[in-house]
Amino acid sequence: MIDKKILRDRLINDFDYPIKTVDMVVDKISVMSPQVYAAFEEWFNTGKIVDMEIEGYNFAMLKAKEAKMNTIAIYLSFDWLAKEPMKAKAALERPYNPLRRRA
Domain count, the chain: 1
**Range(s) of the domain holding residue 58:** 52-103
Residue 40 located in a structural domain = no
The pLDDT-based confidence of 103 (bands split at 50, 70, 90) is very low
Residue 95 located in a structural domain = yes
Which residues touch 25 (CB under 8 Å, ≥6 apart)? 11, 17, 72, 76
Residue 56 located in a structural domain = yes
pLDDT higher at 43 or 99 = 43
Q: Note the pTM of the prediction, 2 decimals.
A: 0.86
Residue 47 located in a structural domain = no
**Predicted local distance difference test score (pLDDT) of residue 101:** 54
Q: Are 49 and 71 in contact (CB under 8 A)?
A: yes
